Structure 1
Amino acid sequence: MYVRLKEAFPQYHVLAQVAFSALITSHNLKIRNQFNRKVTDFVLLNESLQVLVIIELDDPTHLYKVEEDKFRDYMLHEAGYRVLRYTEIPSVRQLHKDID
C-alpha cells in the first residue's frame, strides 16, 4: 500500500503505522487512554506536512472488529481528519478518485 500511495501521489509524504497520539491529544486522561495505544495504517501529508487523509487497510480480521473500527473512525473524524478504509490495495485511479 505504501508503494501504491507513493505511485499515486509522488509529491506527497506517506507515513506508515502512525500512533493516534501523534494525531490526537487531550488533557483528559480517560479520553487519552481511549486512543493511547492505537495506530493508523497510513497518513498522507501534503507538501506543507498537513494531513490530507488517513488510510486504513482492513484485512479479514476486521470483519470481527466493526464496532472498534467505527469508534476509531469516530475519534479521527472528531479530531478533524478524513478517514478512508479499503479491504484491498486500491488502484492508482481509485486513490485519485477518493482523495483528489
Structure 2
Amino acid sequence: MKDSHYNNKLKNFASELRNDSTDGEIILWKEALRARKMYGYQFNRQFAIDNYIVDFVCRKLRLIIEVDGYSHQFKTEKDKLRDNKLEQLGYQVLRIDEYDIKKDLNNVIRFIETIVAELEEKYNLSSNNLER
C-alpha cells in the first residue's frame, strides 16, 4: 500500500524516539509486533504519519497502536484530537495502557489479534495470502 500520509520531515525525530522507547513499547515490539509475529503483518515503530509520530503502525491494515503510559492520563483531550485526525486519514487507532502490557501481555496480544482479524475481514485480506 502506498502511504501518502508519511511525513519524511519527521523521519529523524522518529528515529530518535525509537532509541528512547518506553518499557511497554519495547515489550510489545519484541513479543508481538516485530518480525511479522502478528499473523505475518509488518509493523513499523515510531512512524511519521501526517504531523504525528505513532508508536506502531501496520500500513496494510491501516492499524495504529499507541502505548499509553502515565503521562497520557493528563493528555486525554489532546489524544482524542490526534486519534480523530488519524481516523480521518483512514486509520484505526488502538490505545493500550502500558501497565496492561507489563502485567497482562497475553490478553493484550489476544486483543490485538482480535482487531487484526476484524481488519482482515474488513479489507478482505488473509494472513495466509500476505506478500512476504
**1:39 alignment partner, one of 53, 67, 75:** 53
Aligned residues: 81
C-alpha distance in structure 1 between counterparts of 2:81 and 2:62, whole Å? 20
Bigger share in helix? 2
Unmatched segments (≥5 aa) in structure 1: 22-34
C-alpha distance in structure 1 between counterparts of 2:80 and 2:90, whole Å? 15
Compute the displacement of 1:17 (Å). 0.4
Compute the displacement of 1:83 (Å). 0.7
With the length of structure 1 as denominator, give the TM-score of the two structures: 0.70
**Which structure ranks higher in relative contact order (CA pairs < 8 Å, sequence separation ≥ 6)?**
1
**1:71 alignment partner, one of 81, 93, 99:** 81
Unmatched segments (≥5 aa) in structure 2: 1-27, 118-132
Aligned to 1:5: 33
With the length of structure 2 as denominator, give the TM-score of the two structures: 0.54
C-alpha distance in structure 2 between counterparts of 1:98 and 1:8, whole Å? 15
Kept in 1: contact 2:62–2:90 (CA 8 A): no
Aligned to 2:125: none
C-alpha distance in structure 2 between counterparts of 1:83 and 1:64, whole Å? 19
Kept in 2: contact 1:8–1:96 (CA 8 A): no
C-alpha distance in structure 2 between counterparts of 1:44 and 1:55, whole Å? 9
Q: Which runs of 4+ in 1 moved over 4 A?
A: none
